[in-house]
């Protein structure tokens, strides 16, 4: 195979479909990542077949998404009611169907397997051995990292996942990390070979998430029922302990206590739906808002498509990302590309995405008092906020899906070189 001949990739995203709406259930930044990467790979000449588990009988088995990108809805287990924790029991069925799909084509149909999340990595490892092509794997999140920074009341990741991740790390020819920090975590926590870890930053769709004119921002506010002088503190993402929307609400309560004069202008939209352990108590965040006596300023908004989400970013005074961990922090990147300052937890990939004091503020703790001070600084100083907004746009230029796709193809080529080298040394 020549250096540039990556003609077709089998991309495996077992536990969440790239066709699902991000912001609820198990759909989030990884869904966006898979779709956007596949789209840009296709535009650059590499076709992509995405294999995911069918969650409805109404889904067609094969769905063309755009030229060069096809989603395969694989039947494995019941369509509904199967939690992510129960999916390991369906790995064999899913893997069999993926192998069967490839068997319908001439040998060498796929050049690379690229799996996303550990469950997909288990299937990818089997496909790698059967097809004789390299396995490239993206973790997205890691059990050992999540368990080290567990939110209060959240459920630890099970040991079965830890073991499964260790197996995938050992099986993959190359591991893609979103940031330098994630690369170090793979090496230090999972004993990954440093020579097989590549850092490839995710991107942002700058056609959707872009700077708006003052008139466009004013229209975005009017369309959402927000006043011109409203101080809009936006949370976007899945409602679960890991994402820590409760930290934002507690900080807002403290901000209101410190600065009661701001209350009449404050609006806190929470855009997203329950997910993960948050499904066990779907009304918990609304109950907390009432308990904190800020339910008059909090507004719950169901998950929205990306163009609508871009409008929310444009309407925001700032975007809060208080997560306990993020492998990258796509919401922060999208917000910055939209010209919104970000106040984020100084964890994981957020320390790469957000430049502290330039495109936003990084908060070292999850204490409501510290978050209230950071929020207050941004909302009460218009000149400082404008500087951060300018810095946000500048910071966002580092991240593009076109660059992500080009770098990913280089990783695919390197993975091929590694397995050729291994074959020669056997």
**284 and 347 together in one domain:** yes
CA dist 310 and 307 (Å) reads: 5
Do both 334 and 185 map to the same domain? no
Angstrom distance (rounded) from CA 91 to CA 82: 13
Domain contains 208: no
Query: Within this chain, do residues 259 and 181 fall inside the same structural domain, yes or no?
Result: no
Residue 139 within any structural domain of the chain: yes
Annotated binding-site residues read 15, 21-22, 26-31, 84, 117, 141, 161, 238, 243, 304, 313, 316, 326, 334
Q: Are residues 276 and 419 in the same domain?
A: no
SS3 40: helix
> Which residues line the annotated binding site for Mg(2+)?
313, 316
In this structure, are residues 135 and 170 in contact, taking their beta carbons and an 8 Å threshold? Answer: no
317 shares its domain with 229: yes
Residue 9 is predicted with a pLDDT of 98
Any domain includes 342: yes
Do 236 and 352 belong to one domain?
yes
Domain co-membership, 112 together with 237 = no
Question: Does residue 136 contact residue 172 with C-beta atoms inside 8 Å?
Answer: yes
Nearest to 237 by CA among 31, 12, 18: 31
CATH number at residue 404: 3.40.50.2000
Q: Count of domains in the chain?
A: 2
Q: Is the domain of 359 the same as that of 219?
A: yes
Phi then psi dihedrals of residue 217, to 5 deg:
-65, -40
Compute the Cα dihedral for 31, 318, 333, 374 and give only its sign: negative
Which tokens sit at 318?
Answer: 């700032």
Residues 195 and 272 in one domain: no
Q: Nearest to residue 49, comparing CAs of 117, 119, 127?
A: 127
Q: Is 242 helix (H, G, I), strand (E, B) or coil?
A: helix
3-state SS class at 109: coil
From residue 417, alpha-carbon distances to 6, 195, 199, 312, 424 in Å are: 12, 13, 18, 45, 11
Rounded to 10°, the helix 330-337/382-396 angle is 110
Determine the structural domain holding residue 121 and report its residue range. Answer: 8-203+400-425
What does the pLDDT profile of the chain (426 residues) look like in tens digits?
Answer: 445 579 999 999 998 888 876 655 555 678 889 999 999 999 999 999 999 998 888 889 999 998 999 999 998 877 776 676 778 778 999 999 999 999 999 989 999 999 999 999 999 999 999 999 999 999 999 999 999 988 777 889 999 999 999 999 999 999 999 999 999 999 999 999 999 999 999 999 999 999 999 999 999 999 999 999 999 999 999 898 989 999 999 999 999 999 999 999 999 999 998 765 545 566 899 999 999 999 999 999 999 999 999 999 999 999 999 999 999 999 999 999 999 999 999 999 999 999 999 999 999 999 999 999 999 999 999 999 999 999 999 999 999 999 999 999 999 999 999 988 887 876
Residues 182 and 267 in one domain: no
For residue 286, the model assigns a pLDDT of 94
Q: How many CB atoms lie within 10 A of CB 387?
A: 15
Q: For residue 341, is it within any domain?
A: yes
Binding-site residue ranges for UDP-N-acetyl-alpha-D-glucosamine? 21-22, 29, 238, 243, 304, 326, 334
| 274: Cβ contacts below 8 Å, ≥ 6 apart | 24, 238, 239, 240, 282
Residue 209: inside a domain: no
- Domain contains 363: yes
- Binding residues for 1D-myo-inositol 3-phosphate, by number, are 15, 26-31, 84, 117, 141, 161
The verdict on 408 and 377 lying in the same domain is no
Q: Does 72 map to a domain? A: yes
In a domain, 3, yes or no: no
Edge-to-edge strand list for the sheet holding 62-66 = 62-66, 69-74, 47-53, 8-12, 112-116, 135-138, 174-177, 197-199
Based on the fold, state whether residues 91 and 235 are members of the same structural domain: no
């Amino acid at each position: 195979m020549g250096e540039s001949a990556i003609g077709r990739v089998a991309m495996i995203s077992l536990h969440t479909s790239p066709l699902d709406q991000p912001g609820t259930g198990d759909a989030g930044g990884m869904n966006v990542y898979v779709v956007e990467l596949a789209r840009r790979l296709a535009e650059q000449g590499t076709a992509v077949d995405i294999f995911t588990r069918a969650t409805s009988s109404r889904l067609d088995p094969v769905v063309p998404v755009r030229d060069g990108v096809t989603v395969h809805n694989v039947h494995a287990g019941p369509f509904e009611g199967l939690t992510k924790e129960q999916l390991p029991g369906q790995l064999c069925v899913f893997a069999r169907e993926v192998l069967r799909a490839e068997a319908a084509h001439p040998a060498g149909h796929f050049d690379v397997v690229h799996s996303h999340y550990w469950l997909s990595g288990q299937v990818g490892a089997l496909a790698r051995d059967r097809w004789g092509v390299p396995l490239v794997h993206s973790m997205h999140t890691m059990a050992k990292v999540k368990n080290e920074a567990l939110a209060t009341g959240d459920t630890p990741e099970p040991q079965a996942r830890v073991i499964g991740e260790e197996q995938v790390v050992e099986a993959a020819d190359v591991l893609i990390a979103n940031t330098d920090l994630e690369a170090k975590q793979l090496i230090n926590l999972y004993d990954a070979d440093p020579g097989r870890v590549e850092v490839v930053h995710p991107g942002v769709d700058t056609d959707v998430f872009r700077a708006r004119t003052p008139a466009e921002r004013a229209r975005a506010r009017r369309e959402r029922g927000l006043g011109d002088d409203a101080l809009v503190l936006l949370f976007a993402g899945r409602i679960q302990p890991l994402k820590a929307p409760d930290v934002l609400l507690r900080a807002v309560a403290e901000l209101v206590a410190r600065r009661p004069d701001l209350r009449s202008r404050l609006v806190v939209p929470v855009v997203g739906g329950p997910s993960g352990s948050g499904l066990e108590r779907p009304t918990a965040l609304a109950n907390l808002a009432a308990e904190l006596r800020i339910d008059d300023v909090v507004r719950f908004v169901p998950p929205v498509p990306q163009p609508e989400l871009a409008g929310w970013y444009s309407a925001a005074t700032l975007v809060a990302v208080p997560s306990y961990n993020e492998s990258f922090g796509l919401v922060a990147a999208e917000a910055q590309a939209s010209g919104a300052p970000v106040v984020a937890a100084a964890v994981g990939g957020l320390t790469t995405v957000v430049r502290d004091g330039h495109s936003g503020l990084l908060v070292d703790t999850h204490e409501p008092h510290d978050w209230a001070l950071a929020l207050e600084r941004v909302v009460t100083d218009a000149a400082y906020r404008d500087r951060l907004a300018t810095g946000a746009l500048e910071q966002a230029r580092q991240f593009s899906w076109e660059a992500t796709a080009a770098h990913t193809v280089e990783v695919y080529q390197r993975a091929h070189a590694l397995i050729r080298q291994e074959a020669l040394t056997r």
